[in-house]
Structures are given as structure tokens and as C-alpha cells.
Structure 1
Amino acid sequence: MKPMTKPVPRSAALLAVPLAAALLSACSMAPTYERPAAPVANAYAFNPSGTAAKTGFATNLAGPGQKAAVDTGWREFFIDPRLQQLIAAALENNRDLRTAVLRIEEARALYNIQSADRLPNVNLSAAETRAKTPAFLSSSGQSTIGKRYDVGASVSSFELDFFGRVKSLNDAALATYLATEEARLAAQIALVSQVAQAYYTERAYAEQYALAQQTYEARARTYKLTQQRAEVGASSRLDLRSNETLMETARASALALARQRAQAENALTLLVGQAPAAAASGAMPSDLQLTAMHAIPEGLPSDLLTRRPDIRAAEQRLKAANANIGAARAAFFPRISLTAALGSSSPSLHGLFDSGSGSWSFAPQLTLPIFDAGRNSANLTLAEVRKNIAIADYEKTIQTAFREVADALAARDYVGEQEAAQRAVQEAQADRLKLLQLRFDNGVASSLDVLDAQRELFSAQQALVQARLLRTTSAIDLYRTLGGGVK
């Protein structure tokens, strides 16, 4: 005797049709994605063995054991405790970065919405219908009130994705979501470098302001002595006015630097997202620290394709554009959708689930575009043009990254010697002032020579601070352009 098999319920059989179709329809009409060739040379534009080597400058500070930028966390790279606090606060409170994070949530929600179209939506419904039939339309000659109760489950307009239209749209939404995530990482790297640069810029202005203030106070004392000497006829009016000019010049410089420092603090506050808990403190990095900051191996240009989040984001946008072509191509083919319902109907509520009250409907629909006035062709052309735009954007992003790294490497090979040269200028000017002051005390040199030496020493001191700031910011640029700052 054969074992009896339990019949499959109609509801399960009805829902199994679209589910099986959804699982089997995995094809896509999108073009096979191929990463475009990087439109850059195999080596960076700046040749470390070229001009720098001929002039005897240091060309490559990176040692064989140095970690790559992407493997060096910003807490390892920036060792100033105050700067670490500011960067941590910026990552927590910066509004631009917060917007980038919210963009990720937005893209994730859009992706989830698009993914929902790949599976049927099952709805449960219950309804009561009452209708009055007038007497002249009733077969009994009397007005009647009809009642109907319905309950059941339904699948509404589920598309069988035979030609991959829904899949292509889902792939595009996923690539857009991933691009948004990469964009957030790029924004984080940029924020870390901006906070560091703003911090050291404020420190440079503070150092320059202190020099200007000290110079002004020293020149004010000299001016008073000259004024007293002029009153007794020991100094000329020309000496008095020359000392006054130097004093007021230092005062004007101090006021300008105070304004620039305040503006730099405001810029830092904006980046951090809140007022710092205390005034900025600290100093510019030492020469040893700067040398360590510059000692980052640059690697190969091809490494940028995997190191830089902005390049990865551009590639994800290209993948999304490529997937949209598949959706545009699928629009030329028939679109098959299913609408099905299974339930129970009865003229009375108590008989809703009685035997024989079951009801069902099954309505497949096929839509084939015949004439659309060129809409589908235009949509396909639009998708292809947008892909070409995405390719150009991807290539431009690579070229920009390549140029930024080349600039940072060129700066690394020159700014150190530039600072050393400027330091030599300052030391020479300081020694020159001492010698002229000694000659003036012995009556050999004029006071104008001494005043001129003081002015040039002040300019050399300010230029040295700027040179050290340039060396610091170039190290930060190198770290950023090589993909550091995420950890």
C-alpha cells in the first residue's frame, strides 16, 4: 500500500511561483565591468635622483622599515597630545563629517528599498462590503442590503526579473552605498589633515606674534633711550625717527599677527565643531619629529588605487553607472509581473471560514513596449553617457591624486633644505647685528646700519617660522595624499 502524501496547500503553491521565479532570475544585461587603465605614468613625476640629487639635497627620508601611511594611525603620526584631543573632538563633532555619516545611512536605506523589489511583497487583508440594491433593480421587487466578508493574503505586481532590470537597479544602489562609505572615509582623512594644518598654523602665528611682541618691546626701549639722547643733543632727529619707524613697524606686525592668530583659532573651532576646552597650546614639531613625519614610503602609483578612498568612491560610482546601463537595456524587453491572492469570502461573518468559502485569483501580466516615442532609447543613451562621465571622473580623480602625491614628494625633498637655508640666514643676520652693534659702540658704524640689521633680522626670524610651518604642512600633505588618517 502506497503511503499517502499530504497535498501542498494552495497558498504555499501560489506563493512558491513568484519566489522560485525571483531566485531563478539572476541574469543581468549590464556590460561586463572592467576597471579603466590608470591614466598616469608608472612613476611619480618628481624624480628623486634628478635635480635634488644634483644639488646635494636629501631626496628620500623613508627608511626600509617605515610603515605605509595607510598603516599609520593619526595618533601615531601626530604625537602632540593637544592636537590629538582636537582631532578626536573634530571626528566626533564636525558637521561636515556628521553629514557624510548621515549620507551613508541615507544610501543604505535607499539600497534596502531597492533590494525589497527582488522579493514579493505579501499582504494580509480583511474587508467588509455592504451594498444596497434598489427595489426596481432587485429580482424580488424589494430593496435589499447585501453583505460580503473577505480575508486573505495577496502578492501584488511582483516582477519576474527575467532580463535583470531589478537586479541591475539593485547593483547600482549597492555601488552607490559603497561609494558613499568611501566618501566618508575620504572626508575623515581630509578632516584630520585640516585640523592638524589649522592647529600648526595657529601655533606658527603665535610664535610669530611672540617674536613681534618681543621685538616691539625691545625697540620701544631703544626708542625711549634715543629720545632722551635727542633731548640733550646726543642723537639726531633722523636717528629718532628711524627708531620710531622700526618700533611702529614691529607694533603693526604684532597687531596683524594677533588678528591672524585669532582668525586661525576661529577656523580651528569650526573644524573641531565646538569651542576647544582650553586655548591652543604646544609648539611646532621639532626637526627630529618632522624628519620622522616625512619618512613615509610612497610606494608605487598603482598603490593609490587601493589606498585612496576618493579613488575607490569614484570607481564605485562608475560601477553604479555601469549597472544602470543593464536596467536601461532590460527596458526594451517584456516585463512580466504577477498578481495573486488567496483567501476566503462569505456573505456572513460566521461563515467566513466554512467549507467551500475559499477564493483565489491569479493574474499574470506581460507588458511589451511597442511605441514609446524613443523614451527607452533615450534612457539607454543617457545611461551610457553617464557611464562615460563616471569614467572621466574616475580618471580625473586618479590624476589629481597622482599630482598631489608628486607635489608632496617634491616638497619633502626641498622644504627641509629650505628651512636649513632660512635658519642659516637668521643666524647670519643675528651675527651681523652683533658685529654692527660693536662697530657702532666703537664709533665705526652708523646707527642707520644697526637699524637696518635689526629690521633684516626680524624679517629673517619671521621667515624661518614660515619655513618651519611649510615643512610641517608638507609632511601632513604627504601623509594625507598617501591615504593616511583613517585609523
Structure 2
Amino acid sequence: MNRALLLLSTAMLAGCSMAPKDVRPAAPVPPSWPTGDSYLRESEAGLPALNWRDVFRDARLQTLIAQALANNRDLRVAAANIAAARAQYQIQRGAQLPQVDANLGITERRGNGTNIGNGAIPGNGNTGGNTGGNVSGGGNVGGGLRTNYSTQLGITGFELDLFGRLASLTRAQQNSYFATEAGARATRLTLVGDIATAWLTYASDASLLEVAQQTAKSAEDSVRLTRARLEGGIAPRTDLRQAEQTLATAQNDVARQTAALAQDVNALRLLAGSEIDPALLPASIEQAAPSVAAVPAGLDSSILLRRPDVVQAEYQLRAANAQIGAARAALFPRISLTTVLGFASTALSSLFDGDAFTWQAGGNAAYSIFRGGAARANVRLTEAQQQAAVASYERAIQTAFRDVANALATRGTIDAQLRATQLQADAAADSYKLATARYRGGIDTFLQSLDAQRSLYTAQRQLVTVQLTAATNRVNLYRSLGGDSQLEATVQGPQAARGAGTPANPGG
């Protein structure tokens, strides 16, 4: 009865924890997105589940993203980091369980011819408090060989976790593991956004190359016409030189944009982690931009709690909280138990018989009387680290809120900017057409035609830039919101380690 009560009290003490209760700080951001002249009004609704296939609808871009998710080297590094963090968690968890060792030994000894009668030669050793056995025998050794067999099964290094020190360390390592997994999901989210941005950049550079080529062709016609007018005595040499300047500028842009396209392919190849099919590349920004859809409306700011970097910061906060419990428990004594069961005999056939069996059990309690205040200082250290983790968690939420707010600010005005730029480009094209006709009719000077051509070239390039900005804004909004359901579904690591009762979604 007394033994049962002792075991029950020991089990109850082993389940206690000195870690403070996990309390998530209130989100230091407004409950809804900003609204006003530069923001689109967003209705508040439940948290949606984003899906990159719903945002990036072009089949070619989807193929590139899937290729990158399978082959990107940064993701492979992240996967290795997850495996390492999982192993560290398992190592720490193993410290809570008894260590069981077994060994089998054989020893031969040559006698010196002494008659030892029927007495016993006891043998009892202790190596690290874990080994031992009795050696028995009798008779006249007579200078012959004496063989001793032994086997042992021992429980070593088992610490009674009365104050939850090992449990707190395990919980801290588990949350560090979850934080590593969340960081890997952030890498995936970034990769998807980078692939989409690089694909759109290629489309933009392809459009800029086409504009430069068209301008160069138009400039060649102007040079040819101006040279003919100069030779006919109608136009001055200055007109020819100005036309040649415009041609040289366009040719320079053609060469620069050609190099930019090659660099864009190199960037996509690096992100994808392998060679890419040229058929997956877009022909122009006009073709690529509409394929990037806007994220669904009706999002409130609590969706940011699903962002991978915010989830990572929360797990790091939980790990710091558990470290406080471990530091507090370290102020109390550590109690360790050892036991060993063994058999020893001079005859292999009688190894497991009768008196060959031996056993040994022991306990140890250790407590540091004086460490110069180091233990209490360690508690203060972990408390300070926990406060830093709280601030980091709040900063992660504030940063996420700022990213989304900036993306929404651009989204609220980019359509008006795009319409204005399109009107400007259309007007510049018509102006250039009229100026060229008036110059050829001898009504206007060549300078007016040349200015109209330059204005058209600038307007066309600006239109491409704004189209790229509008498309990448939708990519940035997707990336800022985070919480892609498909990216979360690809991560299975934490499910195997959530036996300690950690919720699957800390930010939900």
C-alpha cells in the first residue's frame, strides 16, 4: 500500500510544470484593413483558404511553380533543416525515458595451481554504478583456464522529472521544431511569389523589347526619309542627325532588352531548380498580366495569424516560455535512479540458474549549494528572452499588417493609373501619326515629328511598366496575406510530433 502511494505521488509530481501559461499577446494592429481614398474597401468575413492555383491561373505559370516546388534547392535546405529539428526534438524527448543497457561478457583466467577448496570467489564490480556480478567456483585450479560468463540488463541515467525540467526542455525543442517547419513554409510562399514575379518580369521585358524593335524600325524609316530629303535639298543636316540619334537610342534599347530577357530566363531557371521549357514563357505583359487574379475580398486582419512568419514567431514565443519552466525547475534537486539485473557463472549452461542471478538498485539526489547566483540568473535570462520573443511576435504581426496595407494602397489606385497611362499612350500614338503626316506634307517641322515619336516611345514603355506593377501588386498581396492552403497541406512534419498536445494551427 505504501509503495502504491509512493508511486502515485511520484507520478503526480512528474506531471507538474513550472513553465508559465502560454498566452498569446493581443494583435497590435487594427481589427480591419485601412480604408479611404487610397484603399479599396474590404468587407470583413471569415478567414479564407488561399490557393496559389486560384491566384495564378495561367497553366504555364502553374507548371513552373510546381517544378520549382519540386526542385528548388532552397526548399531542399529547408527540408533538411526540418529533419534536423525533428531529430533534435526526438533526442530531447528521449531524455525523459529510462535508458536501458544490456551487455554479455566472457572472461578467461589462468590459475596458479592453488587449491582453493570449495570456497567462493565473489566478484562484484560497479562501472558507472551500472555493472556487477558474482563469480563462483571451487576446486583445484591446477594452473588451468577458468572461464567466467556474465550478462546484465540495467536501467541507467533515469532522472525523475519531479519539477518538469525535462518536460519543459522537450516542449521547448518541440516548439522550435514547429517554428522551423513554419519557416520552411515561409520559404515555399516566397518561392511561389518569386516565380510569379520573375515570369511577369520576363513578360514585361518581352513587351519592352517589342516596343524598342518597333521604335527602331520607325526610326530607320525616318532616317531613310530624312536622308532622301537632305539629298534633295529639302531638309537640313540637323534633321538627319536627330533622326539618327533616335534610331541609336532604340537600337541600344533593343540590345539591352535582349540581354534582360536572357537574364530573366536565368533567374527562372535558378528558381525552378532545373531547365525550363521555352514554351512556358509568356509572349508579352498584355498576355500575362490578366492571368494573375486578385485574392478574394472579405478578408479581415486576423488572417495574418496564418502567415508563416507569424506562426514561426508564435512557436518561438512558446519555446521561450518553456525555457522559463526548465530554468525554474533547475533550481530544485535532481533525483536519478539506476538498477541492474545480472547473471554470472563459470558455466555457460548454468548462466541463468539459481544463485547466478544478482541485482542492484540505487538512487542519487544532486543539488548545487552555491553557484554564485547562476541558476537564478538563468531564470532571469529566460524571462528576458521570453519578453524579446513577445516583442518579436508582435513585430511580425505589425510587419505583416504593413505589407498587406501597402499592397492594398497600390491596389486601390493602380487601376486608375493604368487607365490614365493607356489614354496617354493612345494619345501619343495618334499625335505621332498626325505629326508624321504633317511633316511629310511640309506643314510641320521635323522636330515636331521627332518629339511626337519620342513621346510615343516613352508612353509605351510607361504603359508596360504600369501593367507590370499592377500584376506584381496582386502577387505581393497574395504573398503578404500568406496562409496558402496548398502550401500548408504539403507540410506533414509536425503531425508526427504533436503527441504533446500542441494545436495543429497555433494562429487559428
Maintained 8 Å contact 2:404/2:481: yes
Comparing 185-194 with 379-388, greater Cα deviation is found at 379-388
Match of 1:10 in 2: none
Distance in structure 1 (CA, Å) of the matches to 2:332 and 2:110: 46
Maintained 8 Å contact 2:149/2:351: yes
Match of 2:20 in 1: 31
Where do 1:250-261 residues align within 5 Å?
250-261=250-261
Distance in structure 2 (CA, Å) of the matches to 1:281 and 1:431: 28
Taking a change above 3 Å as real, the CA distance of residues 300 and 199 of structure 1, as seen in their structure-2 partners, is: same
List gaps (5 residues or longer) in structure 2.
118-139, 487-508
In the TM superposition, what is the alpha-carbon distance from 1:268 to its structure 2 partner?
Answer: 1.3
Does 2:196 align with 1:187? Answer: no
Distance in structure 1 (CA, Å) of the matches to 2:234 and 2:323: 88
Distance in structure 2 (CA, Å) of the matches to 1:39 and 1:450: 58
Aligned mate of 1:100, from 51, 75, 78: 78
Taking a change above 3 Å as real, the CA distance of residues 309 and 130 of structure 1, as seen in their structure-2 partners, is: same
Maintained 8 Å contact 1:422/1:464: yes
Maintained 8 Å contact 2:431/2:452: yes
Maintained 8 Å contact 2:49/2:484: no
Secondary structure of 1:360's aligned partner: strand
Distance in structure 1 (CA, Å) of the matches to 2:236 and 2:295: 56
Match of 1:213 in 2: 213
Distance in structure 2 (CA, Å) of the matches to 1:213 and 1:313: 48
Maintained 8 Å contact 1:192/1:485: no
Match of 1:124 in 2: 102
Distance in structure 2 (CA, Å) of the matches to 1:318 and 1:420: 47
In the TM superposition, what is the alpha-carbon distance from 1:107 to its structure 2 partner?
Answer: 1.2
Taking a change above 3 Å as real, the CA distance of residues 311 and 94 of structure 1, as seen in their structure-2 partners, is: same
Does 2:52 align with 1:74? Answer: yes
| Matched residue type, 2:271 | L
In the TM superposition, what is the alpha-carbon distance from 1:221 to its structure 2 partner?
Answer: 2.3
Secondary structure of 2:29's aligned partner: coil
Match of 1:5 in 2: none
Secondary structure of 1:337's aligned partner: strand
Distance in structure 1 (CA, Å) of the matches to 2:466 and 2:65: 24
Secondary structure of 1:127's aligned partner: strand
TM-score norm. by structure 1 comes to 0.87
Where do 1:218-229 residues align within 5 Å?
218-229=218-229
Distance in structure 2 (CA, Å) of the matches to 1:422 and 1:330: 66
Maintained 8 Å contact 2:295/2:478: no
Does 2:406 align with 1:407? Answer: yes
In the TM superposition, what is the alpha-carbon distance from 1:385 to its structure 2 partner?
Answer: 2.2
Taking a change above 3 Å as real, the CA distance of residues 374 and 220 of structure 1, as seen in their structure-2 partners, is: same
| Matched residue type, 1:101 | A
Taking a change above 3 Å as real, the CA distance of residues 248 and 287 of structure 1, as seen in their structure-2 partners, is: closer
Match of 2:163 in 1: 163
Maintained 8 Å contact 2:332/2:367: yes
Maintained 8 Å contact 1:29/1:327: yes
Where do 1:361-440 residues align within 5 Å?
361-440=360-439
Secondary structure of 1:118's aligned partner: coil
In the TM superposition, what is the alpha-carbon distance from 1:51 to its structure 2 partner?
Answer: 2.3
Distance in structure 2 (CA, Å) of the matches to 1:287 and 1:82: 10
What is the RMSD computed on CA atoms of the aligned residues?
2.9
Match of 2:357 in 1: 358
In the TM superposition, what is the alpha-carbon distance from 1:373 to its structure 2 partner?
Answer: 3.2
In the TM superposition, what is the alpha-carbon distance from 1:302 to its structure 2 partner?
Answer: 2.4
Maintained 8 Å contact 2:219/2:247: yes
Maintained 8 Å contact 1:188/1:485: no
User: What do the CA deviations read for 1:388-442 (whole angstroms, capped 9, x no partner)?
Assistant: 2211211111111010010011011011111111111111111211222233233
Distance in structure 2 (CA, Å) of the matches to 1:20 and 1:120: 19
Taking a change above 3 Å as real, the CA distance of residues 366 and 135 of structure 1, as seen in their structure-2 partners, is: farther
In the TM superposition, what is the alpha-carbon distance from 1:485 to its structure 2 partner?
Answer: 4.0
Distance in structure 1 (CA, Å) of the matches to 2:286 and 2:167: 54
| Matched residue type, 1:289 | P
In the TM superposition, what is the alpha-carbon distance from 1:36 to its structure 2 partner?
Answer: 1.4
Task: State the percentage of identical aligned residues.
Answer: 39
Secondary structure of 2:278's aligned partner: coil
Does 2:61 align with 1:83? Answer: yes
Distance in structure 2 (CA, Å) of the matches to 1:287 and 1:359: 80
Does 2:275 align with 1:289? Answer: no
Taking a change above 3 Å as real, the CA distance of residues 106 and 188 of structure 1, as seen in their structure-2 partners, is: same
User: What do the CA deviations read for 1:295-342 (whole angstroms, capped 9, x no partner)?
Assistant: 52252222311x212111110011011101111111110101111011
User: What do the CA deviations read for 1:181-207 (whole angstroms, capped 9, x no partner)?
Assistant: 211211111110110001000110011
User: What do the CA deviations read for 1:79-106 (whole angstroms, capped 9, x no partner)?
Assistant: 1111111101100011111111121111
Taking a change above 3 Å as real, the CA distance of residues 403 and 76 of structure 1, as seen in their structure-2 partners, is: same
Does 2:284 align with 1:270? Answer: no
Secondary structure of 1:454's aligned partner: helix
In the TM superposition, what is the alpha-carbon distance from 1:283 to its structure 2 partner?
Answer: 3.7
Does 2:130 align with 1:152? Answer: no
List gaps (5 residues or longer) in structure 1.
1-12, 54-58
TM-score norm. by structure 2 comes to 0.83
Maintained 8 Å contact 2:206/2:283: no
Taking a change above 3 Å as real, the CA distance of residues 264 and 141 of structure 1, as seen in their structure-2 partners, is: closer
Where do 1:130-149 residues align within 5 Å?
130=108, 147-149=147-149
In the TM superposition, what is the alpha-carbon distance from 1:26 to its structure 2 partner?
Answer: 1.3
Match of 2:120 in 1: none
Distance in structure 1 (CA, Å) of the matches to 2:299 and 2:44: 11
Taking a change above 3 Å as real, the CA distance of residues 387 and 146 of structure 1, as seen in their structure-2 partners, is: farther
